[in-house]
Structure 1
Amino acid sequence: MTGQTEGPMNRRNLHERLRDQIGQDIVAGRLAAGTIIKAEDLRAGYDVSLSVVREVVRVLESLGMLRPVRRVGLVVLAMDEWMLLDPLVIRWRMTQAPARQLRSLTELRVAIEPEAAGLAAQHAPAEAAEEIMRLAARMRSTGRNGDVESFLEADVAFHRAVLGAGGNELFAAFDTVIGEILAGRTGAGLMPQYPHPDALQWHFDVADAIGRQQSGRAKEAMYKIVAKADDEMSGVWADEPRGPRR
């Protein structure tokens, strides 16, 4: 970062790079809980202005990762203070601690998404149900062609649509988390180029059940989807201990 000017675009790049670097250092434990950071040290170390440092610190404070202490500096906080479902924190953990992050998020999906599919079958407007079916068809087409990028886009849109179709605002707010989970899985090379035919069919089954207002069937098909994802990735976290570690 050294020697860079701070035009509007470059300032944003400096902000994002410094934010991501510090966030990843905290997630990875290179900046352990209790560590004291000085804003001036960040300014000098990364050769950026104090205004950029302050912007980054505000973001990390809002995520529960740093706390300013008067006359002391910025204190790094433990993981139980973090906003763990914020997309930035998920992304940093996916980069620095992928096994534990994937396990936690996949287990959360297993708990949430079948219920969301059941609610969608009960409450989805007709146009939402039709869009979910279109996305299932798009997943089948792109999956069969081995188009990983387009399949991911359709997969994310499908699960977001299901989460939002049931009229529960908290399930709907989970959609950004789903996007990070699926993108992280693909980025980690854990998504096959050609999805399993059963998985493609189960997405169709979810869509069809929602369209027919069959709540139990929608829940069952969605459970098959997330349970298969759990099973396919379980080897990634097989040796990962549970507990307070990052």
Structure 2
Amino acid sequence: MEQGRPHTEASRTAAGVPAQATPGAHGGHHGRDELVRGEHVHGERPYAVPAPARRMPTRYSVRGQVLDALRKALLGGELIPGEVYSGPALGERFGVSATPVREAMQQLVLEGAVEVVPNRGFRVTRRSARDLAELAEVRALLEVPVVLRLARTVPAARWAELAPLAEAASAAATTGDRALYAEADRAFHRALLGLAGNRQLTAVAEELHRRAQWPAAREPAFRCADLVADAAEHVALLEALTVRDLGAVEALVRGHFTGAV
């Protein structure tokens, strides 16, 4: 286990960091989201997961903080496809018990991001190009008809309401932060489909969208330019929707799913 500078209760309180959110014996870490170091279940190589930053007074909030951090670690490539991670080890790194970690991992199981390995922990799912292609096909079958219907029925002026979300996604893309962009990307699509007024549709589509965002086992080297190009498609889609160019709308939606990052 890596050694860090010990924190006293007084120093943590003075810094405004709850004792429960402080990752054990680790301290003085710097960098994105105050990453704390963990170890692979076999002890082969370290990985980093963001430490919870806010006070977590209940089990639910602990679980929520851990879940958010794990999602960011998965999107950022810090949790590697095919590798196994144990609940107790992650709990120690977060400074919490293994229970909220396991609860968060169970949610990731439902999302298809990890799978249970009995008596060992959770393995990050290896997803093939075929898996991603199948997700893209299902998303297209669900969303293309809805967006085309919206293109025919929604007044042109309404599309301007989505412009700030498209701009936020573009701004997130320029940071190169894949997790930040993933949230902005889902927010845009959630608002777009929300215009259909079908909550069940929106919920199912968001679940498929999140699944599509998990990195594949073997994917091309990640580039910030990929995020920028993906975000630009949001802007182009709004332009096509505004002028009711149905051919362009369908092509953009289908292409967006195929090239999703």
TM-score (norm 2): 0.46
Higher RCO (CA < 8 A, seq sep 6+): 1
